[in-house]
Amino acid sequence: MNGETPNIDALSFEDALRALEDVVRKLESGDVPLEDSITLYERGEELRKHCQKRLDAAQARIEKIVAGPDGVPSGTQPFDTADR
């Protein structure tokens, strides 16, 4: 591990997702010592939580945009994660 770990809260969704993909790649390679694997796993979990938080915020914004002033959908259905 190189110690270059930027603050996760400062990362955009795209940057956090790339960092998470990098963590997964390293862990899947099997070339990382155990202690580093544990540290990577912990960072991956924090990155996953950050990405989920960003997705949830985006979903709430989308639902707010498509709802009319009375709260009734204005012809477009809200994003639904249940279909995933």
Res 81: pLDDT: 52
Q: Give the list of residues 6+ apart from residue 36 with CB closer than 8 angstroms, or none.
A: 1
Res 39: pLDDT: 96
Which range is least confidently modeled, 16-25, 31-40, 59-68, 69-78? 69-78
Fold held by 9-83: Helix Hairpins (1.10.287)
Res 82: pLDDT: 52
Res 65: pLDDT: 73
pTM for this prediction: 0.70
With beta carbons less than 8 A apart as the criterion, state whether 19 and 11 touch: yes
pLDDT of 72 higher than 70: no
- Backbone phi, then psi, for 59, in 5-degree steps? -60, -45
When pLDDT is averaged across residues 5-32 and rounded to a whole number, the result is 93
Res 1: pLDDT: 47
Res 84: pLDDT: 45
